[in-house]
Amino acid sequence: MAAPLIELIRLSKSYRRDQFVIPVLRDLSIEIAAGEFVALMGPSGSGKTTLLNLIAGIDRPSAGTIRVAGQELTRMSDRELARFRSRHVGFIFQLYNLMPVLTAYENVELPLLLTPLPRARRRRQVETALDIVGLADRMDHYPSQLSGGQEQRVAIARAIAVDPPLLVADEPTGDLDSVSASEILTLLSRLNSEFGKTIVMVTHDPRAAARALRQLHLEKGVLVDDRGAPAAPGAAAP
């Protein structure tokens, strides 16, 4: 059996505030296969975003082991983690995090500027990403000229521009109306089923979570429910 894309072993995370130690995650062990679409759910303060940041290599655990794509993040230096993120992880945020002075094309190109790709190759990858999200005809528009749903599509195009195996999404529909939210969730499902992207999504919305293949429920930093059968690795190819 193939190794999981994401493996968390007895993971814990605490923060220190003055003389107090505040536990956020407690002794979590989770495996996520390549090709899964997983929703992280739970009340505010349950540790969902902290867990997402640990999986993405943005934060470090207080104890335990994190392996992603065969690499042990807990042993990496800050520079190695930055290199890992740039190659393996695409980020999708609730508020899009687009640069207002850049066009859609330029926003999507940003992560590619950190790679050694020649300009012509960068252009092909940007145009492909914008075509996948249905915005090939909006690449010269600025964020202020786009709707919220279109801005999130640009953000998703930016996330997939380097063709990472893993997408992490923190409340990607939290700032959208119901129609736009449904369209974004359909796009994420397509990226999972047609392009084989592994997706880990934080959400408070049961309707959004229902689009995932598996739901992990956290309460006070503890995994209390794990619903859904893992997808077969390699079920969808790019």
Q: What is the CATH number of the domain that holds 16?
A: 3.40.50.300
Rounded average pLDDT over 162-168: 96
pLDDT band at 55 (very low <50, low <70, confident <90, very high): very high
Share of the chain above pLDDT 90, in %: 83
Kindly state whether residue 103 falls inside one of the protein's structural domains. Answer: no
Rounded average pLDDT over 186-207: 95
CB 187: neighbour CB atoms within 10 A? 19
The pLDDT of residue 205 is above 50: yes
Vertex 228, ends 226 and 233: CA angle to 5°? 110
Question: pTM higher than 0.85 for the full model?
Answer: yes
Kindly state whether residue 157 falls inside one of the protein's structural domains. Answer: no
The pLDDT of residue 234 is above 50: no
How does DSSP assign 142-168, residue by residue? Answer: -GGGS-HHHHHHHHHHHHHTT--SEEE
Give the pLDDT of residue 3: 66
Report the mean per-residue pLDDT for the chain: 91
The pLDDT of residue 235 is above 80: no
Kindly state whether residue 154 falls inside one of the protein's structural domains. Answer: no
The pLDDT of residue 231 is above 90: no
The residues that bridge with 22 in the sheet, in sequence order, are 15
Domain span at 205: 6-97+165-227
Rounded average pLDDT over 122-151: 96
Total number of domains in the chain: 1
